[in-house]
């Protein structure tokens, strides 16, 4: 995933996202796709800058000789479904869960799977070379695709047990957060037979109702709405709707790690593989061990998880479920893609038999504490990471450096890692009491403080 700050914050490739830079990405991707594909799909979420960047991407691709299918505003998994169905690569203009001022680019293969790190590196290398524009008679054309959202909804509906969901006569409150899911999820859950209420359901790139990230702090209105309407479930998405987070019928936030554990318990068979990131909750570890499955940990981020799924499948290990506790869950038998609507529908299958609060109760014995440490300069970043490394090497704990520094103390763990999308160092902690989780997080925060 490429994410760049449109507000002046540098991204993973060290560049601020501008229309000029989007053109360069188009030329780089075009070089990778040249000779193999003649057509590319382009979609976006609702961000204010999305149309401008989608226009720049379309211009760059048609100028390189590609025809472009313009899907307009569609969820990330909707673009992936289209690419898989049509056999064409794609580009998504989105910054996912990041604040409104941000925007970014995700590249998708013809199979609907996000680009691996290797392919992204090839694109970046091609961007450094001189581009070749197509002759005037070979310049591509663009066309608007009108039915991409409807086709995506139909695919999700047919992939889940829609009869089971309909028979349960569920009431759900959908909070797309003004993002791309505004145009798909409310209709999908009506088509699944649910009574649907919406909040923050109007597409709006200013995200006036809440920030795009569907974390507990941003979902107060959803919790209140679920409680006041006696709904069975609240469903919240991020900006491109590849994540889903939930609120139970009592208006209580459900931790994403609890959801992943519950879905894994229902999905897994002995001997199957599970892929998660280095910040995986002990809840998931407990489920995997109880079932007799195998857990593989990766650096944080969907690109790493997707790559590991491919590696395990190539080795002969069937991966049944994968994902992170942030609501980004993959069911590889369906598609190797995070899909917020599909995840929510699969969760609805489970609550058709058991209320959400009871469903996740076996996985509620852990507590999480998360902190964000803001970075102002590169020198501050380097000093902060050096301080964290020194602390990690001196404490009495098991150290994992798969991505950042994870310290396992037996009765809890803490992880510190630099964000790949924002000027932050993120700290995650988990323990069996909230006090112990807070203590572990605070110790890491104190260790990270530097005087410049």
Which residues lie across from 40 on neighbouring strands?
68
Contacts for 150 with CB less than 8 Å, ≥ 6 apart: none
Helices 117-127 and 19-33, packing angle to 10 deg? 110
Neighbours of 205 (CB within 10 A): 20
- CA-to-CA distance for 6 and 10, rounded, in angstroms? 9
Residues 106 and 25: their CA atoms lie apart, in Å, by 10
Among this protein's residues, is 96 annotated catalytic? yes
Residue 35: left if φ>0, alpha if ψ -120 to 50, beta else—which one?
Answer: left
Alpha-carbon gap, residue 187 to 89, rounded angstroms: 27
Task: Outline where 11-49 has alpha helix (H).
Answer: 19-33
| Cα 171 to Cα 187: distance, rounded to the nearest angstrom | 13
Q: Which residue has the tokens 């630099």?
A: 418
Structure tokens at 19: 């229309």
What's the chain's length in residues?
452
Task: Give the phi and the psi of residue 400 in degrees, each rounded to 5.
Answer: -125, 125
Q: Catalytic one among 31, 96, 307, 320?
A: 96
Is residue 179 within 8 A of residue 207, CB to CB? The reply is yes
Cα atoms found within 13 Å of the Cα of residue 217, Cβ hemisphere only = 6
In the numeric block, which tokens belong to residue 346? 């699969």
| 3-state SS assignment for residue 213 | coil
For residue 259, give both structure tokens. 């959801």
Pick from 332, 323, 328, 348: nearest CA to 340: 328
Here the tokens at position 300 are: 């944080």
Give the residue numbers marked as catalytic.
96
């Amino acid at each position: 995933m490429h994410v760049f700050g449109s507000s002046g914050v540098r991204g993973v490739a060290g560049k601020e996202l501008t229309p000029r830079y989007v053109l360069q990405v188009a030329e780089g991707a075009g070089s990778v796709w040249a000779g193999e594909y003649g057509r590319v799909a382009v979609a976006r979420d609702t961000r204010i800058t999305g149309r401008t960047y989608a226009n720049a991407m379309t211009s760059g691709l048609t100028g390189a000789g590609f025809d472009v299918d313009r899907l307009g505003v569609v969820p990330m998994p909707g673009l992936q479904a289209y690419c898989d169905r049509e056999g064409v690569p794609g580009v998504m203009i989105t910054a996912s869960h990041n604040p409104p001022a941000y925007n970014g680019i995700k590249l998708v293969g013809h199979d609907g799977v996000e680009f691996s790190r290797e392919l992204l590196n090839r694109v970046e290398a091609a961007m450094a070379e001189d581009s070749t524009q197509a002759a005037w008679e070979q310049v591509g054309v663009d066309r608007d695709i009108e039915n991409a959202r409807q086709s995506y909804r139909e695919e999700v509906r047919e992939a889940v047990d829609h009869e089971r969901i309909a028979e349960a006569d569920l009431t759900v409150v959908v909070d797309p957060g003004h993002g791309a899911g505004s145009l798909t999820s409310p209709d999908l859950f009506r088509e699944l037979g649910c009574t649907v209420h919406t909040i923050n359901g109007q597409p709006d790139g200013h995200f006036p109702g809440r920030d795009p990230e569907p974390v507990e702090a941003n979902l107060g209105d959803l919790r209140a709405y679920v409680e006041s309407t006696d709904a069975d479930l609240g469903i919240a998405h991020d900006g491109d709707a590849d994540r889903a987070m939930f609120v139970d019928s009592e208006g209580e936030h459900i931790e994403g790690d609890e959801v992943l554990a519950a879905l894994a318990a229902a999905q897994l068979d002995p001997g199957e593989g599970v892929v998660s990131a280095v910040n995986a909750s002990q809840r998931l570890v407990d489920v995997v061990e109880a079932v007799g499955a195998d857990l593989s940990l990766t650096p944080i981020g969907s690109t790493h998880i997707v790559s590991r799924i491919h590696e395990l499948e190539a080795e002969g290990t069937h991966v049944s479920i994968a994902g992170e506790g942030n609501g980004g869950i993959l069911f590889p038998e369906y598609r190797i893609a995070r899909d917020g609507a599909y995840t929510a529908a699969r969760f609805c299958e489970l609550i058709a038999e058991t209320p959400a609060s009871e469903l996740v109760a076996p996985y509620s014995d852990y507590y999480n504490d998360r902190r964000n440490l803001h970075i102002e300069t590169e020198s501050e970043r380097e000093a902060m990471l050096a301080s964290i490394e020194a602390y990690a090497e001196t404490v009495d704990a098991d150290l994992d450096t798969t991505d950042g520094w994870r310290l396992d103390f037996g009765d809890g763990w803490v992880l510190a890692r630099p964000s790949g999308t924002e000027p932050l160092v993120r700290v995650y902690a988990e323990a069996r009491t909230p006090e112990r989780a807070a203590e572990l997080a605070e110790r890491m925060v104190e260790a990270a403080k530097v005087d410049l």
